[in-house]
Amino acid sequence: MPKAGVENEVLNYELSEILHDFNFVFEELEFLIQESDEATILSQITSGLKNFLGAKNVLYFVYDSTKNEFRWAAGSEECNQKKIPGKNFCNSEGSMLFAIKEMGTSLVIQNTENETRFVCDEILSLSGPQSIVLKRIEKDNELKGVVIFYFSLINGNQLRALYHKISRFLAVWNDLFLMKLELLAERKRRKILEEKLLCGTRIASLNTLLHGIAHEICNPLQIASGFFELLKPAIKEHVPDADSEIDKTCAKVETSLSRIKTIIDFMIKLHPKEKLNTSVDLNGLLAELSELHRNHFQNNGIDLIFTPCCSPVWVLGGETLFEQVYHQLLTNAFDALTDTLCVQMQKSVQVDLHIESAKCIQWCIYDNGIGIEKHNLPKIFDPFFTTKDPGKGPGLGLTLVHNSIYVLNGQISVESERNRFTKICITIPLFNP
């Protein structure tokens, strides 16, 4: 039997033996873990404790070790709404402000009204209309949070009895509840991974299908284009009096053949030929490509601003793939600024590359162009979706970008507001050469 299962059995046994009165809380938890998120579970637990103990309020604060601060997690909504900078909170009645701080090895609740301090794991019999019990939540000797119980003022014996009951309950809760939340988080991570793998499989299948179709169309298209070039002079020779009409017809045929070729070229690009296991300095590549595009943008009154990272940024992929992605994103930004309704503003495209974390980089492209309608945002990566005029693009550009980023194990997100801006952010894993 897995270790987690054994721990579960032991903890549930302790729970039933030591705190059978609280069994309903964990029965509820077993159901919630299947149906709800962490916030719902915490809310149900604190609500159950409040009702069972007859407390005026039960508040739960989660400790964030990365920011060295506490955040409200469950209990009175007023406590969350009245949060004050500096880790200060107030109770549900709004009568007592307090700050949760670490003082040496102790967790301290500081009353910010009169500067008195109370160490966690002790009973506070206040002179006011209430008594407070403070308990810290730990796992593997690491601070996870603090629970604050508010009671109407009661005598010392009643308060101590409640304190011991709470202490015994939380001794079990520390292990069982936090372990349940870890299982929930793992389940969420697995679901996200499965969805990503499924999406990747669909994209790969779509790419293969489109690539195959493109090759099947390419050969007869080349034959048709070749014969058409041969036919044009022969037609003019046999029908000399209809030159203008024939020229118009020939131009329409050439435009249609050219559009088909453009679509096929995009479909072939969806299936990259180059190997994607070579390291690329994205910082240097984007700087070089930005310089190549800058004159074209400036000639049309558009500033192209690239903000590089302070050092080389290595990623796995292929230069050609990154060039295609960047070219397509710049083309979209250029078109958005060319079509913009406002002619008085300074048009600009801002490209920023920075290290997001120890494992990934973020690459953002921002333009203050015409933007995207809100109802169109979910469809922009769909094949052949376009809002441009006929003949200005096959609607495969962002499909190419989206699929390429997935091939690179990255993620892409888009923010946009009509007639204001569009911001595309790409996150890609870092590579250590």
With respect to residue 257, please indicate whether it lies within any of the assigned structural domains.
no
pTM: 0.48
> What average pLDDT score do residues 113-126 get?
48
With respect to residue 253, please indicate whether it lies within any of the assigned structural domains.
no
* 76 or 3, greater pLDDT: 76
What are the pLDDT digits (tens) for 384-399?
A: 788 777 666 667 788 8
pLDDT above 70 covers a percentage of the chain that reads: 50
What are the pLDDT digits (tens) for 171-199?
A: 655 555 566 666 666 777 777 667 666 66
Alpha-carbon distance 57 to 392, whole Å? 63
Q: How far is CA 66 from CA 70, 88, 371, in A?
A: 11, 18, 36
pLDDT recorded at residue 81: 41
What are the pLDDT digits (tens) for 286-312?
A: 999 999 999 989 988 899 999 998 888
> What average pLDDT score do residues 337-348 get?
73
With respect to residue 266, please indicate whether it lies within any of the assigned structural domains.
no
pLDDT recorded at residue 365: 95
Cα of 320 vs its chain's centroid, Å: 27
Q: Which domain CATH number covers 103? A: 3.30.450.40
Can you give the residue range of the structural domain that contains 381? Answer: 273-433
With respect to residue 138, please indicate whether it lies within any of the assigned structural domains.
yes
Same domain for 290 and 154, yes or no, is no
Q: Show Cβ contacts of residue 137 under 8 Å, excluding neighbours closer than 6 positions.
A: 143, 144, 145, 146, 147, 170, 173, 174, 178
Alpha-carbon distance 404 to 387, whole Å? 22
Q: In a 3-state reduction of DSSP, which class is residue 253? A: helix
What are the pLDDT digits (tens) for 418-432?
A: 888 999 999 999 888
* 93 or 205, greater pLDDT: 205
What are the pLDDT digits (tens) for 344-356?
A: 678 999 999 988 8
Same domain for 283 and 430, yes or no, is yes
Does 263 score more than 60 pLDDT? Answer: yes
pLDDT recorded at residue 206: 66
Same domain for 185 and 288, yes or no, is no
Q: Nearest-CA neighbor of 63 among 108, 94, 19, 100?
A: 100
Domain count, the chain: 2
pLDDT recorded at residue 159: 63
> What average pLDDT score do residues 145-161 get?
69
Does 275 score more than 70 pLDDT? Answer: no
Alpha-carbon distance 19 to 16, whole Å? 6
Structure-token pair, residue 127: 């002179």
**130 touches 153 (CB < 8 A):** yes
pLDDT recorded at residue 150: 74
> What average pLDDT score do residues 186-214 get?
68
**87 touches 101 (CB < 8 A):** yes
Domain boundary among 149, 164, 194: 194
pLDDT recorded at residue 89: 43
With respect to residue 30, please indicate whether it lies within any of the assigned structural domains.
yes
Domain boundary among 194, 214, 232: 194
* 27 or 191, greater pLDDT: 191
Domain boundary among 194, 210, 244: 194
With respect to residue 201, please indicate whether it lies within any of the assigned structural domains.
no
Q: Which domain CATH number covers 373? A: 3.30.565.10
In terms of Cβ atoms closer than 10 Å to its own Cβ (0-12, 13-18, 19+), residue 102 is middle
